[in-house]
Amino acid sequence: MIEKLKEILSENQIITGDMIGADFCHDEYPGGNFVPAAVVEAGSTEDVAAVLKLCNEEGIPVTVRGAGTGQVGGSVPVKGGIVLSVKGMNQVLGYADGVLKVQPGVLLQDVKAAAEANGMYYPPDPGELTATIGGNVATNAGGPCAVKYGKTADYVVDAVVVLADGTVTSLAGNESVVGSEGTLGVITEVSLKLVDKIGADAILLFPFMDIESAMVGAKAIMAAGYEPAVVELMDTDIVEFAGKVTGNPVFPVEMDGERVGATLMVTIEGTDDDDVMEKMEAIAGLAEEGEIEPLDILVGDTITMKREFWAAHGAFHTAMESGAKGAREINIDVPVDAMAEMIEFAKAAGEENGLMVLLHAHVGSGGMHIHVASNELNKEALAPVFDVFAAAVYAKCAELGGNIVGEYGIGYGKVQYMSEEAKAAQAALKATYDPKGILNPGKLG
Ligand SMILES: Cc1cc2nc3c(=O)[nH]c(=O)nc-3n(C[C@H](O)[C@H](O)[C@H](O)COP(=O)(O)OP(=O)(O)OC[C@H]3O[C@@H](n4cnc5c(N)ncnc54)[C@H](O)[C@@H]3O)c2cc1C
Domains of the chain by range and CATH?
Answer: 2-87 (3.30.43.10), 92-196 (3.30.465.10), 198-314 (3.30.70.2190), 324-406 (3.30.70.2740)
Which strands sit side by side in the sheet containing 92-96, from one edge to the other? Answer: 92-96, 99-102, 186-193, 156-162, 168-170
Centre of ligand 1 from the C-alpha of residue 76, in Å: 12
C-alpha span between 219 and 326 (Å, rounded): 34
The predicted pLDDT at position 445 comes to 78
Best residue among 83, 102, 128 to mutate for probing ligand 1's pocket (most ligand atoms within 8 Å of CB) is 128
Residue type present at position 150: G
The predicted pLDDT at position 249 comes to 85
Centre of ligand 1 from the C-alpha of residue 288, in Å: 42
Centre of ligand 1 from the C-alpha of residue 121, in Å: 21
Which strands sit side by side in the sheet containing 38-41, from one edge to the other? Answer: 14-16, 38-41, 82-85, 62-65
C-alpha span between 239 and 252 (Å, rounded): 8
Centre of ligand 1 from the C-alpha of residue 359, in Å: 20
User: What contacts 172, CB < 8 A, 6 or more positions away?
Assistant: 158
Best residue among 63, 78, 139, 175 to mutate for probing ligand 1's pocket (most ligand atoms within 8 Å of CB) is 139
Residue type present at position 409: G
Centre of ligand 1 from the C-alpha of residue 296, in Å: 37
CA torsion through residues 177, 183, 185, 190, sign = positive
* 313 close to 360: Cβ distance less than 8 angstroms: yes
Atom of ligand 1 nearest to the CA of 177: 43
Ligand 1 pocket, CB under 6 A: 27-28, 63-71, 74-75, 86, 104, 126-128, 131-132, 134-136, 138-139, 141-143, 181-182, 186-187, 317, 407-408, 440
C-alpha span between 103 and 109 (Å, rounded): 14
The predicted pLDDT at position 293 comes to 96
* Closest C-alpha residue for ligand 1 atom 23: 135
* Closest C-alpha residue for ligand 1 atom 52: 128
Angle (deg, nearest 10), helices 236-246 and 303-323: 90
C-alpha span between 26 and 32 (Å, rounded): 7
Atom of ligand 1 nearest to the CA of 107: 25
Best residue among 51, 62, 75, 91 to mutate for probing ligand 1's pocket (most ligand atoms within 8 Å of CB) is 75
- Count CB-CB contacts under 10 A for residue 413: 23
Best residue among 62, 63, 69 to mutate for probing ligand 1's pocket (most ligand atoms within 8 Å of CB) is 69
Centre of ligand 1 from the C-alpha of residue 140, in Å: 9
User: What contacts 324, CB < 8 A, 6 or more positions away?
Assistant: 241, 356, 373, 374, 375
Beta bridge partners of 255: 258
The predicted pLDDT at position 169 comes to 98
Three-state secondary structure readout of the chain: CHHHHHHHCCHHHEEEHHHCCHHHHCCCCCCCCCCCCEEEECCCHHHHHHHHHHHHHHCCCEEEECCCCCCCCCCCCCCCCEEEECCCCCCEEEEECCEEEECCCCEHHHHHHHHHHCCEECCCCCCCCCCEHHHHHHHCCCCCCHHHHCCHHHHEEEEEEECCCCCEEECCCCHHHCCCCCCCCEEEEEEEECEECCCEEEEEEEEECCHHHHHHHHHHHHHCCCCCCEEEEEEHHHHHHHHHHHCCCCCCCEECCEECCEEEEEEEEECCHHHHHHHHHHHHHHHHCCCCCCCCCEEECCHHHHHHHHHHHHHHHHHHHHHCCEEEEEEEECCHHHHHHHHHHHHHHHHHCCCEEEEEEECCCCEEEEEEEECCCCHHHHHHHHHHHHHHHHHHHHHCCCECCCCCCCCCCCHHHCCHHHHHHHHHHHHHHCCCCCECCCCCC
Centre of ligand 1 from the C-alpha of residue 67, in Å: 7
Per-residue pLDDT of the chain (445 residues; tens, 9 = 90+): 889 999 999 999 999 999 999 999 999 999 889 999 999 999 999 999 999 999 999 999 999 999 999 999 999 999 999 999 999 999 999 999 999 999 999 999 999 999 999 999 999 999 899 999 999 999 999 999 999 999 999 999 999 999 999 999 999 999 999 999 999 999 999 999 999 999 999 999 999 999 999 999 999 999 999 999 999 999 999 999 999 999 988 999 999 999 999 999 999 999 999 999 999 999 999 999 999 999 999 999 999 999 999 999 999 999 998 999 999 999 999 999 999 999 999 999 999 999 999 999 999 889 999 999 999 999 999 999 999 999 999 999 999 999 999 989 999 999 999 999 999 999 999 999 999 999 999 998 7
What is the distance between the terminal CA atoms of the chain, rounded to a whole angstrom?
Answer: 27
The predicted pLDDT at position 148 comes to 95
Instruction: Flag whether the pTM goes above 0.85.
Output: yes
The predicted pLDDT at position 298 comes to 96
Dihedral angle, C-alpha 113, 115, 116, 117, nearest 10 °: 90
Atom of ligand 1 nearest to the CA of 27: 29
User: What contacts 64, CB < 8 A, 6 or more positions away?
Assistant: 75, 83, 84, 86, 134, 138, 182, 186, 439, 440
Centre of ligand 1 from the C-alpha of residue 141, in Å: 7
Which strands sit side by side in the sheet containing 367-374, from one edge to the other? Answer: 298-300, 200-208, 262-270, 230-235, 356-362, 367-374, 326-333
Atom of ligand 1 nearest to the CA of 142: 11
How wide is the angle at C-alpha 395 spanned by C-alphas 261 and 213, nearest 5°?
Answer: 20
Atom of ligand 1 nearest to the CA of 132: 25
Atom of ligand 1 nearest to the CA of 318: 1
Centre of ligand 1 from the C-alpha of residue 174, in Å: 20
